[in-house]
Structure 1
Amino acid sequence: MADLEDVQRLVNALPGVAEGERRDHRSWLVGGKVFAWERPFSKADLKRYASAPVPEGPIVALVTDGLEDKEALLQAHPTFLFTISHFDNYAAVLLQLEYADEAQLRRALEDAWLVSAPADLAERFLAEREE
């Protein structure tokens, strides 16, 4: 089970990351692009759930490499990744920290980081990870 402190620690281990703010919540950027952000549910989000159970705990949104990648990730990791109607046609998934272990969270953050990182930075990171 991961938490926002784990997110912060893992994001800080990635090169070139800056912290920002998105709608009064933390966001993380690389190369000037947001790749992850805290994403609590809005009143409108909660209303859309109606009587269905609302995912609990802290939620982090992560960019994906397009809508096909988004669908593949949702299929591969249904225990901790999900989406909501607000994210329809938007290349991002939501990660429920309560159900992700540290390795799953690290991989998801790295994948989102790679989508947004400048090519040279991403190439260096991948080369170092393989060593």
Structure 2
Amino acid sequence: MSTKDDVRELALALPEVTEKPCYGTPAFYAGGRIFARMHEQPGVLVCWLKDLDSKEMLLAAAPEAFFTTDHYRGHASVLVRLEHVDRVELGEMLAEAWAVRAPARLRTKHGDG
């Protein structure tokens, strides 16, 4: 089980990440590009993925942990129920999201996080 505090701690530990609100919730940016944010629904994280295939794999593999809504249809991101992912998995997801969204200069400088 993970929490919003885990999200904040793990996201801010990634290279050159800043936090600022997005849609009234905490969001995390790498080089000005958002890669994760807390959803308006408590205990849910919006996390960017590398592609739609990755999203479909997560949705099929663990529907209790990962879901989507019509708003995110066709978008390479997934909604994560934090109570169903452990801290290690959460950290891996955030690192991957950082690598997908961070500008090339940051990825080069920091070796993809």
TM > 0.5 fold call: yes
Pairwise mapping of residues 19-58 of structure 1 onto structure 2 (< 5 A)? 19-41=19-41, 57-58=42-43
Aligned mates of 2:65, 2:108 — CA distance in 1: 28
Percent identity between the aligned chains? Answer: 34
Larger Rg: 1 or 2?
A: 1
| Residue of 81, 86, 89 corresponding to 1:104 | 89
SS of alignment partner, residue 65 of structure 1: coil
1:96-130 Cα offsets, whole Å, 9 max, x none, are 00111010100111111111112242245447x7x
Provide runs of 4+ in structure 1 moved above 6 Å: none
1:53-92 Cα offsets, whole Å, 9 max, x none, are xxxx510001112222221232344342211222111111
SS of alignment partner, residue 27 of structure 1: strand
Query: How many correspondences in the alignment?
Result: 113
Q: Which residue of 2 aligns with 1:74?
A: 59
Q: Which residue of 2 aligns with 1:9?
A: 9
Alpha-carbon spacing, 1:39–1:31, altered in 2? closer, same or farther (3 Å): same
Aligned mates of 1:15, 1:66 — CA distance in 2: 22
Q: CA deviation at 1:32?
A: 1.0
Q: Which residue of 1 aligns with 2:107?
A: 122
Partners of 2:55 and 2:77 within 8 A in 1 = yes
Q: Larger deviation: 62-71 or 96-105?
A: 62-71
Aligned mates of 2:61, 2:30 — CA distance in 1: 25
Provide structure 2 residue ranges, at least 5 long, that are not aligned to the other structure. Answer: none
Alpha-carbon spacing, 1:124–1:20, altered in 2? closer, same or farther (3 Å): same
SS of alignment partner, residue 36 of structure 2: strand
Q: Larger deviation: 108-117 or 60-69?
A: 60-69
SS of alignment partner, residue 106 of structure 2: helix
Q: Let me know the Cα RMSD of the aligned residues.
A: 1.9
